[in-house]
Chains A and B, each alone.
Chain A
Amino acid sequence: QKEVEQNSGPLSVPEGAIASLNCTYSDRGSQSFFWYRQYSGKSPELIMFIYSNGDKEDGRFTAQLNKASQYVSLLIRDSQPSDSATYLCAFRGGGFKTIFGAGTRLFVKA
């Protein structure tokens, strides 16, 4: 079992819709979770981090964490074509290393 599982996609949504990205992780001891966005040919950019169960909202982005079920999700409201990118889920594992998922490709159609 991979440490971080993400659907590779592509996930295609129309402009203005809600994009829902999901991620599951294997380490029950993880306390810190992150979502990064990576445009093609660019390095990852931190979008959100979440440490507590529940929802955390920042603008059009909402991160949801459920430690009991070991999943974390990212909702993007009012999706824009500029949101088209690969979204990486990550958590901080042992030894202070951050474990990254392979990413989900999102396409927002104009």
Chain B
Amino acid sequence: GAVVSQHPSWVICKSGTSVKIECRSLDFQATTMFWYRQFPKQSLMLMATSNEGSKATYEQGVEKDKFLINHASLTLSTLTVTSAHPEDSSFYICSARITSGFQETQYFGPGTRLLVL
């Protein structure tokens, strides 16, 4: 399958700092990437859809000014958690959409675990 990487895999930071997470598609171009958050023992929650060259589309209840998304190239999307607080501690996972004809699938990055102290 297609390869998606995320960096960093682990982040520990102090409350009030900003954290940037990178998501890269390594062997394909992805015009659309998705950002998810997952709390322990809960399901994936879609935060936003990141489109190359345009503004991200945020899900209801997700603060766009707190979770800044930039999709500056066809292989890179970044999520910046601004002024992080302990309640932002979670597992952040990106995915990239790949299309082949009319078929379309998503491949996930390995995730970034964020702990805000």
The reply to whether A100 and B103 contact each other, CB–CB distance below 8 Å, is: no
Least Cβ–Cβ distance between B79 and chain A, in angstroms: 14
Interface residues of A in 34-76 (CB under 8 A from B): 34, 36, 42-46, 49, 51
The reply to whether A43 and B105 contact each other, CB–CB distance below 8 Å, is: no
**Residues A46 and B104 in contact in the complex (CB < 8 Å), given A96-B97, A100-B44, A103-B43:** no
Question: Given the complex of chains A and B, what is the CA–CA distance between A7 and B46 in angstroms?
Answer: 21
14 contacts between A and B (CB under 8 A): A34-B106, A42-B111, A43-B108, A43-B110, A46-B105, A46-B107, A51-B103, A88-B43, A88-B44, A92-B104, A95-B57, A96-B49, A97-B34, A103-B43
Q: A44-B108, A46-B1, A100-B43 are in contact. List 11 more A-B contacts (CB 8 A).
A: A32-B104, A43-B91, A43-B93, A88-B43, A92-B104, A95-B49, A95-B57, A96-B32, A97-B46, A98-B34, A98-B106
